[in-house]
Chain A
Amino acid sequence: MRLRQGIVAQSIFFTAAAIVALSTAALLLFTGSRGLAVFGYMNPAEFFLSGSWNQNDENFGVLPLLAGSLLTVGLALLISGPLALGVSIFMVEIAPEPVRRVMRTVVELFAALPSVIYGLLGLTLVVPWVRESFGGGLGKGILAASIVLVFMTQPTIVSIAEDALRALPESLREGALAVGATRWQMIWRVLLPAARPGLITAVVLGTGRAVGETIAVQMVIGNITSRMPKSLLTGATTMPAAIVTQLPEATSPEHRAALIMVAFLLLVITFSLIAAVRAAGSRGKARPTTRRRPSPAAQTAAVKGGD
């Protein structure tokens, strides 16, 4: 009986794993082959090196999209990473239990907000603020998109970083305090280094969320694809924003192929980030005496958080 159940469970498990593996392969194969078709219309050098993406003269250079993504995500993470780290340190090491519970709820709420709500708030609050504070233009652009992404990535990074810090054994804290460390010295020199693999995972998954974010960014970035981003304040675009803006109106096969190629690049970037998370995770595992990897549940939740 036991044995039979084991076999059934195992075959369900294997089937599920096979489905996941196959659909991932199919996804890569589909976008890869459809996207690579773009090189039937233009040579790779043109696609990767041209600084203009303009459907009117059938010129599809991916650089404005890549640069927009890089700048938006980079700027967002520069603010979001340290901020989230501070918030999670506060939650684990400083805040009294009731405060922590409230913050936890707020974080969960932020995580559950649909992207379009972030976009709406960005449009009604952030864009006018950027316009008024920095002058000139419409206020739509990389800065506005980055600010929206700061808020969107907080829940991902905070929840995983909080788990990583909380998973540190109490004995580590006591050990530091017992040799005369102040609370800050304990946090700075002992806890943060000990939690590093988990903290890296948190930031990388936050990056994944920022890279893939579509609607909210599209609503505040201005969607200018035809040239390289000129400043943080003028209109630009990102890879997913360009896809969602242009795909419905892409009539030429060349345009469609170019957009699917961008989607393929996005997939490659996302997979690389996941590989980076795994690498950080296994480095943590190599030292068995400290438990400090975030729970798998938290990782899954964070991945699901993206859209």
Chain B
Amino acid sequence: MSEQTSGHRTLAVRESSARADAPAAIEARDFNFYYGDFRALEQITMLAPRHQITALIGPSGAGKSTLLRAMNRMHDETPGVSSDGQLLLEGADINGFSDLIDLRKRVGMIFQRPNPFPMSIFDNVAYGLRLKSQGAKKGVIAEQVEQALRGAAIWDEVKDKLQQSGLALSGGQQQRLCIARAIAVEPEVLLMDEPCAALDPIATLKIEELMGELEERYTIVIVTHNLQQAGRVSDQTVFLSMNPETRAGFVVEVGPTQQIFTNPKDDRTLAYISGRFG
């Protein structure tokens, strides 16, 4: 972390490991998304480089969640949605995946409210594993569960009560359990939609630290309304805004987080960032 001063604002922005030449895990090119007749996303072009954290920021209703959910086709259950343009996972069209299950295993998701299943801590994490490899040996599953719980930095807290209900954990622990559940199936990309919005500051800090560790193995795309958080955790930032007339969300500016926060190229980015920090 380094303290950077920009005007009257003081803002912590992490030393960026961003490399402009990193290959994209997820990339959007002129991507449009519609709820029925309503265009929620307009000509979105951005990329999420491999093994980096990309933050989606912008005002409420700008379409951050919509864009994130398009990345593992959570919208498939919603009637009346459509899209055009390109949205790619490692160069392959996400909407062209014939096997939705396969896509969701490669692109995991963490939600705003922790949503553990009403079953034991162990079974929560084993759930995806059992789906993935039915008939897998018990010992193998147990080992992978432990690995995932360690990976989500919650193993020490739950190792003695793996058979207790996941719902009995605190909110922050539940969210890390959900992260364990997601990484257990070894995805390439983790999508996080305001993962700390329901958590207290200490639990939030734990998740942020965890994200730094996860970055080594996964590509992370995070939606956050908390600019300090975006500054602390992300390498890249995508600033989305809303067309005041059509209410369609569009990309104002994409760049390394450090540059977006300290030296934005677009006046609208500057206005948003100084407005939120002022």
Contact = CB atoms under 8 A, between A and B. Distances in A.
Main secondary structure on B side of the interface with A: helix
A176 B150 CA distance: 21
Main secondary structure on A side of the interface with B: helix
B50 interface: no
Contacts of B117: 172, 175-176, 190, 193-194
A174 B104 CA distance: 11
A174 B105 contact: no
B223 to A, nearest CB: 15
Given A174-B74, A175-B111, A180 B118 contact: no
Interface in A281-298: 287-290
B96 to A, nearest CB: 18
Contact of A180 (B79, B104, B115, B119): B104
Contact of A178 (B108, B116, B168, B174): B108
Interface residues of B, number: 30
B113 A171 contact: yes
A178 B131 contact: no
A181 interface: yes
A177 B115 contact: no
A230 interface: no
B181 interface: yes
Contacts of B113: 171
Interface in A182-215: 182, 185, 189-190, 193-194
A169 interface: yes
Interface of B: 72, 74, 77, 79, 101-102, 104-105, 108-109, 111, 113, 115-119, 127-128, 131-132, 165, 167-168, 174, 178, 181-182, 184-185
Interface of A: 96, 169, 171-182, 185, 189-190, 193-194, 287-290
List 10 tightest A-B contacts by C-beta distance, closest first. A179-B128, A171-B115, A178-B109, A175-B115, A180-B105, A180-B104, A194-B118, A180-B101, A287-B167, A289-B167
